[in-house]
């Protein structure tokens, strides 16, 4: 079944660095909720809703699931059944850099791993190419020249149109950008973790991206759900914090809950939920090309899109946010 594109809304698009690419201000990440343990009918509806709402950038990685690889496989099935005729309207990215299979060639940044991973990702998604291929994290053991040469070769082979980096600190990112430039392949975009609670990118990375004209896509904008109403009254039994994986229950202190409560009150005064304000707070900065949201269902996605209704913050509101958080991260 094809998707009716006549329902597309007035999505805001932003230029991505020094390129011909415009990305939606909000992109959809398939890190969670789209794997083999999730409901196919649900993530199919979410993807269809994303497209009809103008969320045309879909972000994946080889290890997204769980199990690893299943998010790409499931996306490929929905692409074939629903969105395939709209392939040229979509902007699809994937990544490699974390553990994918056993042995010395299933992780990090070697040419052998990255090329094999891209080939597998393309097969799982039933695609001939991706729009962006990211190296998911820097590798201290593999020479950066080898990793960047591999990324550049993907573009030369037509298996990726653009190259991106993720989780690279400022100095390593700048060196990688330089190597790619020398190879004749510019880096399109960098994807760092960024939220009101995690602001390390403000210590030089955002300035570097602006200076070198590289786009920025912020991931984990809600800090694994902390910047929602979910934890205002403690830790719910079905929350991510109870799983003790990426978000640890020990990090949710009474002090943090107090900060979240004050942020919630400020959001209400702006006519937003805490989650909507957290997304809007990122988009207030023009250096941020897009904010990558996860969504358990289409309702959550539509709720996130409401943040676009008000991305303006007064100086007083920004001062209040800084005072509440004291720039403290988690």
In the chain, where do the E strands start and end? 13-15, 22-24, 26-29, 57-59, 91-96, 130-135, 160-166, 187-191, 215-218, 290-293
Say whether pTM exceeds 0.75. yes
Lowest mean pLDDT among 24-38, 167-181, 243-257: 243-257
Q: Residue range 142-157: average pLDDT? A: 98
Q: What is the pLDDT of residue 7?
A: 46
**Alpha helices (H) in 284-329, listed in sequence order:** 298-305, 315-325
Report all structural domains of the chain as residue ranges with CATH numbers, in order of start.
5-225+286-296 (3.20.20.100)
Using the predicted structure, report yes or no on whether residue 218 has a pLDDT greater than 70. yes
- Return the percent helix, strand and coil in the chain, to nearest 5: 45, 15, 40
Q: What is the pLDDT of residue 252?
A: 84
Long-range contact set of residues 4-9: C-beta below 8 Å, sequence gap at least 24: 4/52, 5/51, 5/52, 5/86, 5/89, 7/52, 7/53, 8/51, 8/52, 8/53, 8/54, 9/53, 9/54, 9/305
Q: Residue range 138-146: average pLDDT? A: 98
CA-to-CA distance for 53 and 193, rounded, in angstroms? 25
Q: What is the pLDDT of residue 236?
A: 64
Using the predicted structure, report yes or no on whether residue 128 has a pLDDT greater than 90. yes
The kind and range of the H/E element at 114 are helix 111-125
CA-to-CA distance for 277 and 173, rounded, in angstroms? 29
CA-to-CA distance for 99 and 106, rounded, in angstroms? 6
CA 24 and chain centroid, separation: 12
Q: Is residue 191 packed enough to be buried (19+ CB in 10 Å), middle (13-18) or exposed (0-12)?
A: buried
Q: What is the pLDDT of residue 10?
A: 78
Using the predicted structure, report yes or no on whether residue 179 has a pLDDT greater than 70. yes
Which tokens in the block code for residue 314?
């007064």
Q: What is the pLDDT of residue 231?
A: 83
Q: Residue range 99-103: average pLDDT? A: 97
Using the predicted structure, report yes or no on whether residue 8 has a pLDDT greater than 70. no
Using the predicted structure, report yes or no on whether residue 6 has a pLDDT greater than 50. no
Q: Are 33 and 4 in contact (CB under 8 A)?
A: no
Q: What is the pLDDT of residue 37?
A: 87
Q: What is the pLDDT of residue 174?
A: 98
Using the predicted structure, report yes or no on whether residue 303 has a pLDDT greater than 50. yes
250-291 pLDDT, tens digit per residue, is 778 899 999 999 999 999 999 999 999 999 999 999 999 999
- DSSP lists the bridge partners of residue 96 as 135
């Amino acid at each position: 079944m094809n998707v009716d594109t006549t329902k597309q809304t007035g999505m805001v698009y932003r230029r991505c660095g020094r390129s011909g690419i415009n990305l939606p201000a909000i992109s959809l990440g398939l890190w969670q909720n789209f794997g083999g343990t999730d409901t196919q009918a649900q993530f199919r509806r979410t993807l269809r809703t994303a497209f009809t709402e103008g969320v045309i950038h879909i972000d994946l990685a080889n290890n997204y699931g769980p199990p690893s690889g299943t998010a790409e496989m499931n996306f490929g099935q929905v692409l074939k059944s629903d969105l395939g005729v709209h392939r040229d309207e979509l902007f699809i990215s994937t990544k490699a850099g974390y553990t994918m299979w056993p042995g010395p060639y299933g992780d990090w940044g070697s040419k052998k791993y990255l090329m094999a991973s891209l080939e597998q990702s393309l097969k799982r998604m039933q695609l001939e190419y991706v729009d962006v291929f990211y190296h998911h994290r820097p590798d201290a053991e593999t020479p950066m020249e080898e990793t960047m040469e591999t990324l550049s070769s993907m573009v030369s082979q037509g298996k990726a149109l653009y190259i991106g980096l993720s989780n690279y600190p400022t100095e390593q990112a700048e060196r990688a950008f330089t190597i790619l430039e020398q190879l004749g392949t510019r880096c399109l975009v960098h994807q760092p973790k960024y939220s009101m609670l995690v602001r390390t990118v403000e210590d030089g990375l955002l300035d570097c991206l602006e200076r070198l004209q590289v786009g920025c896509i912020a991931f984990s904008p809600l800090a694994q759900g902390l910047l929602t109403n979910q934890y205002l009254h403690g830790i719910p039994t079905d929350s991510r914090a109870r799983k003790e994986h990426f978000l640890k229950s020990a990090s949710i202190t009474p002090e943090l809950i107090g900060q979240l409560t004050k942020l919630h009150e400020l959001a209400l005064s702006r006519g937003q939920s805490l989650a909507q304000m957290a997304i809007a707070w990122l988009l207030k900065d023009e250096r941020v090309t897009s904010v990558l949201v996860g969504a358990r269902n289409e309702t959550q996605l539509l709720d996130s899109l409401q943040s676009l209704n008000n991305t303006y913050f007064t100086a007083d509101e920004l001062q209040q946010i800084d005072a509440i958080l004291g720039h403290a991260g988690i």
